[in-house]
Amino acid sequence: MKKSRPRIPLATQVRVLFRDGWLCRYCHGPVVFSYSLKYLQDFVARKGFPRPLAYYHERYRRDASPLCDHLAAVIDHVEAHSRGGSSLEDNLVTACNKCNLKKSTKEASSLAEHRKPKGKYGEPKHWDGMSSLFLVLARERGTQMTLAERAWLHELESYLDTHKTGL
């Protein structure tokens, strides 16, 4: 019988994303907060852009959201939950959707060959996964948010307020 996995609290997810600098632990690429792309898609559409946009899809479908398919920020268990890995912060890392899918339940070392070298100038120092874009657009959107989006807004604001790095 398959063991059900408890949800990772949003506050824990936010701490992991900021701890890891919104960079994939496996390929070291920047990741994107997917709700930012959802809100950006909505913003552009409201401004009258005449064509359908492929910025966001809730299932990260490549045809409907190529950036989410590849770059969406996800939280990964270093030691897979199915192999007994815990959901404590020391076993959680930021990953891009692509690396998370490649890793699946394998050991994290299986992705070592996919690591990219650091860029000429090093890792980004002020990358936030476009979470600040989400905060700006979510505040503008107000009551039109889903419960999940409201919960993310609350946790991101709480984290940024606590760490004095907010907007």
Transcribe 60-118 into DSSP letters: --TTT-HHHHHHBEEEEESS-GGGT---SGGGEEEEEHHHHHHHTTS-GGGGGGGPPPP
Question: Which is higher by pLDDT, 75 or 117?
Answer: 75
In a domain, 24, yes or no: yes
pTM assigned to the model? 0.89
Higher local confidence (pLDDT), 79 or 107: 79
Q: What are phi and psi of 116, to 5 degrees?
A: -95, 145
* Number of neighbours of residue 42 by Cβ within 10 angstroms: 16
Is residue 44 predicted with pLDDT exceeding 60?
Answer: yes
Instruction: Tell me which residue range forms the domain holding 41.
Output: 10-102+128-162
- Distance between CA atoms of residues 141 and 143, nearest Å: 6
Q: What percent of the chain shows pLDDT beyond 70? A: 90
Q: Which residues contact 155 (CB under 8 A, 6 or more apart)?
A: 10, 11, 13, 14
Residue 108 lies in a domain: no
Distance CA 105, CA 119 (A): 29
Q: How far apart are CA 160 and CA 167, in angstroms?
A: 8
Region 28-34: what's the mean pLDDT?
95
Residue 2 has a pLDDT of: 56
Give the chain's domain count. Answer: 1
Strand partners, 92: 77
Is 2 a member of any domain? Answer: no
Task: Judge whether 66 lies within some domain.
Answer: yes
As a whole number, the mean pLDDT across the chain is: 89
In a domain, 148, yes or no: yes
